[in-house]
Amino acid sequence: MIKNIISGIKAYFGAFSLISKLKLWKYFAIPMLISFITAIAVFGSAYGLSDNIGHFISKIWIWDWGHETFASISNFIGGLIVVVIGLILFKHIIMALSAPFMSPVSEKIEAHFTGNPAHSHRNTTFMQQLVRGIKINGRNLFMELLITIPILLLKFIPVINIFSTILLFLLQAYYAGFGNMDYTLERHFQYKESVQFVRKNRGLAIGNGIVFILFLFIPIIGVILVLPLSVTAASTRTVEALQQKTNPVNAA
């Protein structure tokens, strides 16, 4: 899996030049706008709630002794919860709403690498792509929150909280990469088959998602460029993985 994670990360190195070569920037105009507006709405709201969450957590400690220490820890945990939940909501919202615009991008990238003409696979409409994006990301949002909550509780346990941070990051990365890979997979597989495919190639998803999450920490520029580069990188690796699945002997 480590090899696939590295491969998913390395795919970003050629993403910018590939976008320019295939003249794909025009397809990213609306998704970049969606990304920017969503970032302002989600992270703006989250910032306003951070103090309230920290104050709510601090009420759990009913004793006078150590109350200030626990309050400080609570504020930190509250801020972390805001960041984590904000990232989760942001990425799933933009990936779901951008699905109809990203599918043509992945289709052109696939045609470039395989030589197959566009629409040589399952052809879907704008609305079908949007519904698929909402379904996949809605499912991923539920699963990610379900796993994230117990991991956040580990933050109250010394030493273990260090490992929980790594787990949270990798979890975020996996589902970010999942969403990016599905723009290609939706032409090849039905919903359940796509889930199975990503599970078998989770290293590629994590590698793609690691850079995706890191991009979000770059003010303004990161939020705007994260979709174009991550979708392009994910499409190239997903196409390769599909070819290996179809022609394992040739791929080897």
* DSSP, residue by residue, 62-86: -SSTTHHHHHHHHHHHHHHHHHHHH
For residue 82, is it within any domain? no
Residue with tokens 């709403």: 97
For residue 76, is it within any domain? no
* pLDDT over 60 (residue 251): no
Q: Residue 142: what pLDDT?
A: 92
For residue 188, is it within any domain? yes
What domain range includes position 190? Answer: 2-27+99-244
Distance (Å, whole) CA 164 – CA 191: 30
Mean pLDDT value across the chain:
83
Distance (Å, whole) CA 49 – CA 110: 42
For residue 134, is it within any domain? yes
pTM over 0.75: yes
Residue 81 near residue 152, CB atoms below 8 Å: yes
pLDDT tens digit sequence for 69-109: 666 666 666 667 777 788 888 889 999 998 888 888 999 99
Structure token pair of residue 75: 């504020």
Distance (Å, whole) CA 210 – CA 108: 24
* pLDDT over 70 (residue 56): no
For residue 125, is it within any domain? yes
For residue 87, is it within any domain? no
Better pLDDT: 51 or 168:
168
Count of structural domains, the chain:
1
* pLDDT over 70 (residue 194): yes
Better pLDDT: 65 or 184:
184
Neighbours of 122 (CB within 10 A): 11
For residue 49, is it within any domain? no
The values of phi and psi at residue 121, to 5°, are -115, -165
For residue 84, is it within any domain? no
pLDDT tens digit sequence for 14-45: 899 999 999 999 999 998 999 888 888 877 77
